[in-house]
Structures are given as C-alpha cells and as structure tokens.
C-alpha cells in the first residue's frame, strides 16, 4: 500500500511536470508577431527606364521575409514600362498598391488598390508604390518588362530590361 502510494505521487509529479513543460511550450509558440503589414516600411526605389535605355535600376533587388516593404516604381523615362516577376508576386503578401501623383514636387495618393498583384505597369513620368511582405524565400531571375519597343521591334526584355531578386 505504502509503495503504491509513492508510485502514484511520482506519476502525478511526472504528469504535472510534463504538463507544465507543454504549457510553457504552447505559451512560447503563442507569442505571435502580430500584423506584419503594419510595420514601418523599408523603402526600396527602382527606376523603370534609365534615360532612353530600357533598364531597371538597380537591376538586383534584395528582400527579407516577414518585413514590410514599400517598393517605389519610378518611371522618369519617355516609355511605359512593366515591373513583372511572377516569382516575386507569388512569394509576397500584398498590403496595397498606391498610385501616386506629383504636385509641386510633392507626392500624394490618387488610389489604393488592395488584393493580389501580378504585375504593375507605370506610365512615363509617374510612380507607383507596391507595399508587400515577402513570405517565401527564393533566388529569382524572372524580373522583366514585356513592353514592345517599336523602333527595334524587340521587347524591352530582349533589349536588356531584366533583373534578379533575392528573398532571404
Ligand atoms: Cu520597359
């Protein structure tokens, strides 16, 4: 009888300690990061077209998962350009796209677009902001602009408007 009672209390102690370990583990897992789209954004600027050259500048972009980015697509050239990377599009959660207007050197929003984004076209003299949080890593080589260049009969991509994206 006495030894049985000792065994029971030992088992109870063991169960109790296992329970407390489990509770500790669950409580640490339950510490969430909160709303990742409400961080202060990291601003990344990309020029679409450099003078008359159909180029992305910079042509290599780096992002980290879990951080909020404000990717500012600026077209100061005389041609329209696309920012297209399906690899990036499917690896990010898009918070919004903001279409900007410039008045006296100051930029303000004319529209906010919510939802999944595949690609963005920016017309000469304009800028668009794509706010997103990368959720999957990848080394991407599919950034390109598929606009046709009428003078050469080639696409901007064929003329060298391509880029790479690294998501760590
Ligand atoms: Cu282009």
Instruction: Report CA(34)–ligand 1 centroid distance (Å).
Output: 38
All structural domains of the chain with their residue ranges:
1-31, 36-167
- Residue 100 tokens read as 């900007």
Instruction: Report CA(110)–ligand 1 centroid distance (Å).
Output: 23
pLDDT in tens, 4-36: 665 667 878 888 888 877 777 666 666 888 999
What is the pLDDT, as a whole number, of residue 27?
64
- Residue 26 tokens read as 């669950």
* Separation CA 145–CA 120 (nearest Å): 10
Instruction: Report CA(120)–ligand 1 centroid distance (Å).
Output: 11
What is the pLDDT, as a whole number, of residue 12?
81
Q: Output the CA torsion 116→140→74→109 (10° steps).
A: 20
Please state which CATH number belongs to domain 36-167.
2.60.40.420
As a whole number, mean pLDDT of residues 73-87 equals 97
What is the pLDDT, as a whole number, of residue 21?
74
- Residue 50 tokens read as 């450099």
* Separation CA 138–CA 165 (nearest Å): 8
As a whole number, mean pLDDT of residues 91-97 equals 98
pTM of the predicted model as reported, rounded to 2 decimal places:
0.82
* Separation CA 45–CA 47 (nearest Å): 7
CA 78 to mean position of chain CA atoms: 27
Instruction: Report CA(58)–ligand 1 centroid distance (Å).
Output: 14
Instruction: State residue 33 phi and psi, 5-degree precision.
Output: -80, -10
Instruction: Report CA(49)–ligand 1 centroid distance (Å).
Output: 7
Instruction: Report CA(124)–ligand 1 centroid distance (Å).
Output: 10
What is the pLDDT, as a whole number, of residue 41?
98
Q: What does the DSSP 8-state code read for residue 4?
A: H
Computed on alpha carbons and rounded to an integer, the radius of gyration of the chain in Å comes to 25
């Amino acid at each position: 009888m006495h030894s049985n009672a000792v065994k029971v209390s030992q088992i109870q102690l063991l169960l109790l300690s296992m329970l407390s370990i489990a509770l500790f583990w669950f409580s640490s897992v339950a510490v969430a990061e909160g709303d990742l789209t409400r961080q202060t954004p990291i601003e990344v600027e990309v020029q679409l077209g450099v003078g008359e050259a159909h180029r992305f500048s910079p042509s290599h972009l780096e992002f980290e998962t879990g951080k909020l980015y404000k990717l500012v697509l600026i077209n100061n050239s005389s041609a329209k350009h696309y920012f297209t990377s399906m690899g990036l599009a499917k690896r990010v959660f898009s918070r919004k796209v903001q279409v900007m207007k410039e008045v006296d050197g100051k930029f303000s929003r004319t529209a906010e677009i919510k939802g999944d984004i595949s690609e963005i076209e920016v017309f000469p003299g304009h800028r668009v902001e794509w706010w997103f949080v990368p959720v999957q890593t990848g080394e991407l080589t599919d950034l390109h602009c598929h606009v046709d260049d009428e003078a050469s009969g080639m696409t901007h991509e064929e003329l060298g408007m391509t880029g790479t994206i690294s998501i760590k």
